[in-house]
Each structure stands twice: as structure tokens, then as C-alpha cells.
Amino acid sequence: MELSEYVQKGFQMLADPGSFDSNAFTLLLRAAFQSLLDAQADEAVLDHPDLKHIDPLVLKHCHAAVATYILEAAKQRADKSTLSTYLEDSKFDRERTELFCTEYQNNKDSLEILLGSIGRSLPHITDVSWRLEYQIKNTDPRSHPEISFSCNMEQLQDLVGKLKDASKSLERATQL
Amino acid sequence: MLLDLSEEHKEHLAFLPQVDSSGQETRQRRVVFCGLGKEAEGARVSHDVLASVAVVAEFGRIAVEFLRRGSNPKIYDGAARKLNVSRDTVQHGVEGLTYLLTESSKLMISELDFQDSIFVLGFSEELNKLLLQLYLDNRKEIRTILSELAPDFPSYHSLEWRLDVQLASRSLRQQIKPSVTIKLHLNQNGDRNTQVLQTDPATLLHLVQQLEQALEEMKTNHCRRVVRNIK
């Protein structure tokens, strides 16, 4: 994992007990995860009284650095040893390294879901509704916003048959 | 409901009552006259009006024939020669009549509404009567033709599917994300329409379950009774 000087600098500042005491460190760490995972989070996430004594520029720098690192680690599926190595290289002590790894582990799944949801895909079917209609006479066609189409019994059986083939194939694939 | 005839439409139809008065030779007029048949005999109206009515009746017949079997441009040429007018005039006249008939039939307007609608054209009483009769005689058949022409609702043709597994993306490496890609083939107005869609395994099972319920529903007594008794 290649990280920029900006990120490295941020981590070095975060490692320093003189700049960040234990409490401040924990708060900043949690704020970073919150910014990424909580859809409602905003800049106020850094507005904690116990962070007020720290230079806002430093706060923002470290917050951005941690957030960047977390995303990159999650994207690359970094394991604990990769994380530990990087943190130790940034002069994190034992306690801070452990804390970081624990927080990361707790939030890993959510991060992966978030990252996995980014991207383009084809229109995704979410549900189906159906209606049985016995056509006695022709009615005026109406336009529907979603995809609608009509089919007779044989066609519906064909459609269901094909979808069942697909799901059986899916089942077999999961057993490989 | 009254028909809304556009200016262009009215112009095209305006040709109809003028046919007899466009400087034709007597002989030609008689040819048209005889074409009308026995109904013309004994009718105590002027030759001019009768000729016009005869021509319109002929055009009406052509218009309905065109609706049944498609248009035949050669007929325009023949009629244009006989009446000593331009081909365009004949074509517009027939097309104007066709549109009048299809719109009236489509909307199934009442006799009174039809009469009021064509009143704006300023035709003679005989001509108006003829047009009304033309409408009433042919509207059922025209409606049948129209319904065959425009099945607007897409219908199922077939479906292709494919199982995919996403292994990685720009945002996340080392994934195993199964998905089912579906190519849905639909028919619409005789054209093939294709939709490419995707879904996840859980939704696929849900879709199958829901649609099987639809099939099950067809087998219930209720549906069977309806299908059996209403033909």
C-alpha cells in the first residue's frame, strides 16, 4: 500500500502523545470512522470539547490522513500485520496500534459494504408485481414507468422455468 | 365529442364537393354518374349535386378499401384522369376522407357529433348524409382494423440469463459478488425490444417465488371458472 507524504505526516503527528493524549487519540480515531460510515456525519464530528485544545489545522490533517488510510486499507483488504507494520513505522506505541486495529476490525465489514456499493451496474431488479388478467376485449393501452409486459400462460411458464434454471445454477455454484 | 379538423384537413376535403364543377366534359360526368348505380335513378336532385355525391361515394369506397388492403397509388392516377384534376387533389381527397373515417371510428363519436363535426366543411345536405352513412356503415370494420394495427403493450418473447461473479472493482478488491444478468426480449408493435437487467441471488429466488404464485393462482377454482364461462 502506497501512501502519500501527507498521510504519513498525519500519522506521525497522531503518534505523538504531546500533540494527542490518549483520550484525544481515541476521539479522533472514532471520528474518522464515523465520517466515513455515518451518512449524517458532518464537520461537527470534530467538535468535541476534549479536542478543542488542539490546533484545528492539525486536527483536520490527522482526520483526513486517518480516513484516507482506512479507505485504502479496506479497499486492499489489508490484514492486521499490514496495519501493524505501517502504524509501528509511524511511531505508534503498542497501545495505540492495538486500539487502531481493534477499531478497524469492528468497522471492517461496514467499510467493505460501503466500498462494494460504489460503481456502475446494470439496472437492478428489486421486486416484481404481477396481475392476472383474462382478456375479454381489447382495452386502451396505458403507459407504465417501470418495465411492464404481458404474457400468456405458456410464456409465463417459460419465464419462470428460465428463472428457475438460473437459480438452480446459482445453487450448484455455491456448492463448488 | 366533436372532431377537431385541421386547416390542412379541411382544405383536402374541400375538394370533394367541387369535383363536379371543375370544368369537365358532359361525357365524363355521365361516366361517373352511371358508376353510382341504381340508387341514382329517380332521385329528384340536380345532376351537379348527384355527381358530387357519386364521386364522394367512390372516394369513400376507395378510402375503406385502402384501410383494408393498404393504399394503391395507381388508383389515384386513374381517378385523376377521369375527373380531369391533379393527382394530388385526388390523393388529398381520399386521404382526408380516410382520416375523417378513422378518427370518427376510433373515438366512436355519435351520429350527432359526426354531423356537427363535418358541418364546418360547408358541404351540401346530400353530401353530409353520404358521409354520415359512410361512417356508420364502415365504423365497426374500421375499428377492427385499427385494433389490429396498434398493440401498444409490450409482450414477453423470451429471456436469456447469465451468472456473473464480480471479483473486484475500482473501489474494492477481492470480492465475491454473485449476480444474475438477464436479457429480456419483448415484442412491441411487431418490433423486438431488448432490456438488459441484473439482480442478486436473493431477489432472483424471490422473483421465482412470486411468479410461481401467479401460476398457482391460475389453477384455482376461481380462475378456472372465469376462463371456462367467459368466452
B110-121 pLDDT, tens digit per residue, is 899 888 888 888
Q: Which residues of A are less than 8 Å from B168 in CB distance?
A: none
| Contact (CB<8Å) A118/B169 | yes
In B146-209 the beta strands, taken as DSSP E runs, fall at 155-166, 177-188, 191-199
Q: Are B165 and B55 members of one domain?
A: no
Q: Are B127 and B42 members of one domain?
A: yes
Nearest Cβ partner of B159 from A76, A162, A170? A162
**d(C-alpha A109, C-alpha A39), whole Å:** 16
Max mean pLDDT range (A62-71, B23-32, B220-229): A62-71
Q: Which helix (H) or strand (E) holds B31?
A: helix B26-36
Query: Is residue B93 domain-resident?
Result: yes
Q: How far is CA A86 from the centre of its chain?
A: 22
Q: Which residues of A are less than 8 Å from B174 in CB distance?
A: 77
| Contact (CB<8Å) B159/A158 | yes
Single-letter code of the amino acid located at A88:
E
Residue to test with chain A: of B171, B194, B219, most A Cβ within 10 A: B171
A88 against B45, higher pLDDT: A88
Q: Are B208 and B119 members of one domain?
A: no
Distances (CA, A) of A81 to A13, A91, B172: 22, 15, 19
- What is the per-residue pLDDT for A136? 59
**d(C-alpha B117, C-alpha A167), whole Å:** 60
Q: Are B162 and B80 members of one domain?
A: no
Query: Is residue B2 domain-resident?
Result: no
Query: Is residue B1 domain-resident?
Result: no
Going across the sheet that includes B177-188, the strands are B155-166, B177-188, B191-199
| Residue bearing cell 493524549 | A21
Mean pLDDT score, A1-29? 93
Q: Which residues of B are less than 8 Å from A168 in CB distance?
A: none
Residue to test with chain A: of B108, B143, B159, B188, most A Cβ within 10 A: B159
Q: Mark B51-83 as b/e (b = at least 16 C-beta within 10 Å).
A: bbbbbbbbbbebbbebbeeebeeeebeebbebb
Q: What is the pTM of this model?
A: 0.53
| Contact (CB<8Å) A157/B215 | yes
Closest CA of chain B from A53, distance in Å: 36
Mean pLDDT score, A80-88? 95
Q: Are B50 and B104 members of one domain?
A: yes
Q: Are B185 and B157 in contact (CB under 8 A)?
A: yes
Q: Mark A53-92 as b/e (b = at least 16 C-beta within 10 Å).
A: ebeeeebebbbebbbbbbbebbbeebeeeebbebbeebeb
Query: Is residue A61 domain-resident?
Result: yes
Closest CA of chain A from B205, distance in Å: 7
Sign of the CA dihedral with B11 first, then B13, B16, and B17 last: negative
Grid coordinates representing A94 are 503498542
B168 exposure class (CB count in 10 Å sphere: 0-12, 13-18, 19+) = middle
Closest CA of chain B from A141, distance in Å: 6
Residue A157, SS3 per DSSP = helix
- What is the per-residue pLDDT for A145? 42
Phi/psi at B193 (5° precision): -125, 130
Nearest Cβ partner of A116 from B150, B163, B175? B175
Query: Is residue A158 domain-resident?
Result: no
Grid coordinates representing A87 are 502504524
Q: Are B66 and B139 members of one domain?
A: yes
**Nearest chain A Cα to B151, which residue?**
A141
Task: Quickly state the pLDDT bin for B82 (edges 50, 70, 90).
Answer: confident
Query: Is residue A106 domain-resident?
Result: yes
Q: Are A15 and A66 in contact (CB under 8 A)?
A: no
B103 against A57, higher pLDDT: A57
Closest CA of chain A from B173, distance in Å: 6
Mean pLDDT score, A71-82? 95
**d(C-alpha B222, C-alpha A93), whole Å:** 75
| Residue bearing cell 482506512 | A70
Query: Is residue A153 domain-resident?
Result: no
- What is the per-residue pLDDT for B197? 93
Task: Quickly state the pLDDT bin for B151 (edges 50, 70, 90).
Answer: low
Q: Are B56 and B98 members of one domain?
A: yes
Nearest CA among A6, A121, A87, A38 for reference residue B171: A121
Nearest Cβ partner of A130 from B147, B210, B223? B210
| Contact (CB<8Å) A163/B173 | no
**d(C-alpha A95, C-alpha B23), whole Å:** 111
Q: Are B58 and B72 members of one domain?
A: yes
Q: Which residues of A are less than 8 Å from B146 in CB distance?
A: none
Q: Are B43 and B55 members of one domain?
A: yes
**d(C-alpha B40, C-alpha B53), whole Å:** 10
Residue A19 pLDDT greater than 60, yes or no? yes
- What is the per-residue pLDDT for B188? 80
Mean pLDDT of chain B: 79
Task: Quickly state the pLDDT bin for B35 (edges 50, 70, 90).
Answer: very low
**d(C-alpha B83, C-alpha B103), whole Å:** 27
Query: Would you mind telling me the total number of residues written for chain B in this entry?
Result: 231
Residue B29 pLDDT greater than 60, yes or no? no
State what percent of residues in chain B have pLDDT above 70: 82
Q: Establish, for the pair of chains A and B, how many residue pairs have beta carbons separated by less than 8 Å.
A: 135
Query: Is residue A174 domain-resident?
Result: no
Helix axes B7-18, B87-107, angle to 10 degrees: 120
Domain boundary among B118, B149, B180: B149
Single-letter code of the amino acid located at B33:
F
Q: Are B45 and B59 members of one domain?
A: yes
Judged by a CB distance cut-off of 8 A, whether residue A139 touches chain B is: no
Q: What is the total count of domains within chain B? A: 3
**Residue A40: which domain range?**
5-117
Q: What is the total count of domains within chain A? A: 1
Query: Is residue A143 domain-resident?
Result: no
Closest CA of chain A from B2, distance in Å: 20
Could you count the other beta carbons within 10 Å of the beta carbon of residue A3? 16
- What is the per-residue pLDDT for B70? 80
Q: Which helix (H) or strand (E) holds A108?
A: helix A94-116
Q: For A115-163, how does the pLDDT look when each residue is reduced to its tens digit (9 = 90+)?
A: 999 988 888 898 888 888 776 554 444 433 467 788 888 889 999 999 9
Query: Is residue A126 domain-resident?
Result: no
Q: Are B113 and B220 members of one domain?
A: no
Query: Is residue A9 domain-resident?
Result: yes
**d(C-alpha A158, C-alpha A154), whole Å:** 6
Closest CA of chain A from B17, distance in Å: 36
Q: Are B129 and B186 members of one domain?
A: no
Q: For B177-219, how does the pLDDT look when each residue is reduced to its tens digit (9 = 90+)?
A: 999 999 999 988 778 889 999 999 999 999 999 999 999 998 8
Task: Quickly state the pLDDT bin for A176 (edges 50, 70, 90).
Answer: low
**d(C-alpha A86, C-alpha A140), whole Å:** 68
Mean pLDDT of chain A: 88
**Residue B81: which domain range?**
7-149
Which of A7-11, A172-176, B43-47, B154-158 shows the lowest per-residue confidence on average (mean pLDDT)? B43-47
